Amino acid sequence: MNKSFTFVMLMLAASPVLAVDSQAVADTQYQCGMHLDIAEVVSITTTPSDDAVYPATLEYIDPQGQTNRLVYSVTDTSWGGQ
């Protein structure tokens, strides 16, 4: 009886963590020509580096209400074209 109770308590304690993990958004790598159906932009995150090209992430909500995350590359424009 004690082991069963412990198991149930562990499952109940872990269920909120499992719910958060099941709602995690997977990254999709952008490909040229990819159709994007964006209803609302949630965030745009870049990770500037010393390289001329670095990664960026666009998180958005589509018209169906699903959150999506798109990973793509951006170029450094701070050099002013010189």
Query: pTM, whole model, 2 decimals?
Result: 0.60
Is residue 4 in a domain? Answer: no
Residue-level pLDDT at 80: 54
Instruction: Name the residue range of residue 68's domain.
Output: 24-82
Query: In whole numbers, what is the pLDDT of the chain averaged over residues?
Result: 75
Is residue 71 in a domain? Answer: yes
Count of structural domains, the chain: 1
Is residue 15 in a domain? Answer: no
Residue-level pLDDT at 25: 80
Q: What is the pLDDT of residues 51-63, one digit of tens each?
A: 678 889 999 999 9
pLDDT band at residue 74, thresholds of 50, 70 and 90?
confident
Q: What is the pLDDT of residues 17-33, one digit of tens each?
A: 444 444 578 899 998 89
Using H for helix, E for strand and C for coil, what is the string for the chain? CHHHHHHHHHHHHHHHHHHHHHCCCCEEECCCCCCCCCCEEEEEEECCCCCCEEEEEEEEECCCCCEEEEEEEEECCCCCCC
Is residue 2 in a domain? Answer: no
